[in-house]
């Protein structure tokens, strides 16, 4: 039952990724072009992501609600910039119940318009504010070039939509959420991200300010991994979200929206995976440890399974997400490869010699081969495994951070920038003009990723045109 090896990342990164998503049992291609089926293993990972985020949002006073999938097409015409931004991606329902609809309906690409309409009904006084609502579900954007998890026509996410009495409060909300996203990536996904503000051309359609977290993948491309937007009163004016303030004067609400989508799974695959398959961060992995009993005869099986069952019960009781692989139709070697492909952080091997010695072999996924294998006592095994999971989590973040930092360079001049962005990120002063941004994009295919919130002191000159510049920006090719 030997399976073909994955293509290596170095020979064909795109094909490595495509095959890995399917072969690791995360997702499969749907019969509708550009859509995916998320399989139970992939959905379990998504549930671990969403449950952490949901708990954090609730700590900050947010509540969950659900809004319709179908939105009157006329709603998109109310906010001009928004409709222009989404027009090419809209899927439109023209018929229902065998008849042509009087008003065409858009399948939601995002929910600002329908939620803005409802907020206008619900918000009448300053006492009604703030409104802090999160919706969990899927949206549809008619993507032409698709890739499982990274860019599919339908994808899963949460979308937060909030309304506030003042600009200060709304801006504070935008940054609060950005901080939660950063913490999620660092603490849970083991992905180092850079927080910053998007350029005018890269910001969300209809937003006043878009902030993002940007991550570097193994192929050195950037991936926008989460966004948080401040709309000012743009959507409030389009949908007439007005309230009487404390001075009894009518004013428009200040709104925000923000999201992390299922593309964060694609980020984890591309940041941590290796040529053997997935490597999942222990805090999010659906299975944190897999037990593989090894035996040749029935007599060996009885002794080994007695220990394996005891180890399983002990790990489970300690709150470790554990799986027993007692399949009898495949070899141990096959099982090792299978769980390596699926990225399980720790493999616990129990064989006849381990039974005699009162030990087990622990293999850590982030260090393949002999380097990652240790023999430990069965006594206190749960705490040993828990400690190893913590170590692996920290090791993944350290490795990804060092890799990212080694591939970010400060160009001496424009020619140097053009060279750097072919295989890395450039961090340089930029005058923030559209002309210089467009020039870089047209000549290198690299875009501005974000203007980091953490800026160096002092000023410089734009790497493209040489004019005085106050802030540095990251340039990179991106997904």
Domain 289-391 has CATH 3.40.50.800: yes
d(CA 365, CA 393): 11
Residue with tokens 């007695």: 306
Cα–Cα distance for residue pair 154/141, rounded to 1 Å: 6
β-bridge mates for residue 360, sequence order: 376
Q: Are strands 194-197 and 451-452 parallel, antiparallel or unpaired?
A: antiparallel
Q: Regarding the domain with residue range 408-476, which homologous superfamily does it belong to in the CATH classification?
A: C-terminal domain of ProRS (3.30.110.30)
Residue found by looking up tokens 């549930």 in the block: 47
CATH label, 13-272, candidates 3.40.50.2000, 3.30.930.10, 3.40.50.300, 3.40.630.10: 3.30.930.10
Separation CA 231–CA 237 (nearest Å): 11
460 by Cβ neighbours in 10 Å (0-12 / 13-18 / 19+) ranks as middle
- Per-residue pLDDT 10s for the chain (479 aa) are 446 899 999 999 999 999 999 999 999 999 998 999 999 999 999 999 999 999 999 999 999 999 999 999 999 888 777 767 777 889 999 999 999 999 999 999 999 999 999 999 999 999 999 999 999 999 999 987 889 999 999 999 999 999 999 999 999 999 999 999 999 999 999 999 999 999 999 999 889 999 999 999 999 999 999 999 999 999 999 999 999 999 999 999 999 999 999 999 999 999 999 999 999 999 999 999 999 999 999 999 999 999 999 999 999 999 999 999 999 999 999 999 999 999 999 999 999 999 999 999 999 999 988 999 999 999 999 999 999 999 999 999 999 999 999 999 999 999 999 999 999 999 999 999 999 999 999 999 999 999 999 999 999 999 999 999 999 999 999 99
Crossing angle (nearest 10°) for helices 298-317 and 381-406 = 70
Q: Which two tokens stand for residue 373?
A: 């294998």
Stated pTM of the model:
0.95
Q: Report helix, strand or coil for 384.
A: helix
Query: What is the Cα gyration radius of the chain?
Result: 25
How is the chain split into domains, by residue range? 13-272, 289-391, 408-476
With a CB cutoff of 8 Å and minimum separation 6, the contacts of 364 are 345, 346, 372, 373, 388, 391, 392
The values of phi and psi at residue 349, to 5°, are: -100, 130
Going by DSSP bridges, is the β-strand pair 359-364/346-350 parallel, antiparallel, or unpaired? antiparallel
DSSP assignment of 292-306: EE--SSHHHHHHHHH
Task: Burial-class residue 408 by CB neighbours within 10 Å (0-12, 13-18, 19+).
Answer: middle
Largest CA distance in the chain: 84
The C-alpha atoms of residue 201 and residue 437 are separated, in whole angstroms, by 9
């Amino acid at each position: 039952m030997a399976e073909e090896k994955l293509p290596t990342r170095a020979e064909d990164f795109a094909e490595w990724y495509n095959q890995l998503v399917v072969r690791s049992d995360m997702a499969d291609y749907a019969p509708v072009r550009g859509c995916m089926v998320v399989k139970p293993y992939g959905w379990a990972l998504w549930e671990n992501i969403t449950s952490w985020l949901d708990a954090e949002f609730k700590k900050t006073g947010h509540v969950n609600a659900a809004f319709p999938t179908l939105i009157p097409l006329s709603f998109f015409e109310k906010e001009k910039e928004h409709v222009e931004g989404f027009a090419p991606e809209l899927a439109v329902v023209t018929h229902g119940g065998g008849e042509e609809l009087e008003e065409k309906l858009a399948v939601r690409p995002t929910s600002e318009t329908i939620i803005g309409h409802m907020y206008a009904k619900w918000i009448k006084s300053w006492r009604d504010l703030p409104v802090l609502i999160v919706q969990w579900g899927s949206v549809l954007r008619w993507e032409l070039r698709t890739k499982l998890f990274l860019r599919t026509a339908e994808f899963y996410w949460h979308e937060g939509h909030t309304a506030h009495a003042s600009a200060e409060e709304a801006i504070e909300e935008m940054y609060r959420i950005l901080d939660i996203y950063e913490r999620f990536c660092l603490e849970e996904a083991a992905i180092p991200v850079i927080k910053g503000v998007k350029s005018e051309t890269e910001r969300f359609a209809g937003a006043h300010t878009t902030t993002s977290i940007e991550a570097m993948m193994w192929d050195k491309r950037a991936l926008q991994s989460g966004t948080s937007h401040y709309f000012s009163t743009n959507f409030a004016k389009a949908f007439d979200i007005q309230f009487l303030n404390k001075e009894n004067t009518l004013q428009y609400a200040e709104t925000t929206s923000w999201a992390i989508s299922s593309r964060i799974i694609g980020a984890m695959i591309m940041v941590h995976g290796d040529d053997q398959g997935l490597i999942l961060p222990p805090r999010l992995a659906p299975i944190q440890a897999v037990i593989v009993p090894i035996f040749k005869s029935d007599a060996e099986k009885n002794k080994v399974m007695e220990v394996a069952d005891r180890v399983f019960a002990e790990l489970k009781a300690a709150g470790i997400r554990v799986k027993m692989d007692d399949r009898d139709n495949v070899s141990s070697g096959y099982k090792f490869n299978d769980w390596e492909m699926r990225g399980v952080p720790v493999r616990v091997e129990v064989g006849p010699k381990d039974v005699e010695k009162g030990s087990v072999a622990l293999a850590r996924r982030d260090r393949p081969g002999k380097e990652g294998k240790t023999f430990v006592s069965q006594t206190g095994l749960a705490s040993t495994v828990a400690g190893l999971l913590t170590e692996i989590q920290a090791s993944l973040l350290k490795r990804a951070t060092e890799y990212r930092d080694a591939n970010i360079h400060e160009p001496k001049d424009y020619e140097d920038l053009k060279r750097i962005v072919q295989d890395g990120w450039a961090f340089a002063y930029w005058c923030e003009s559209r002309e210089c941004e467009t020039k870089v994009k047209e000549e290198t295919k690299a875009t501005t990723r974000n203007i980091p919130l953490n800026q160096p002191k002092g000023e410089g000159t734009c790497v493209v045109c040489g004019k005085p510049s106050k802030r540095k920006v990251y340039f990179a090719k991106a997904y």
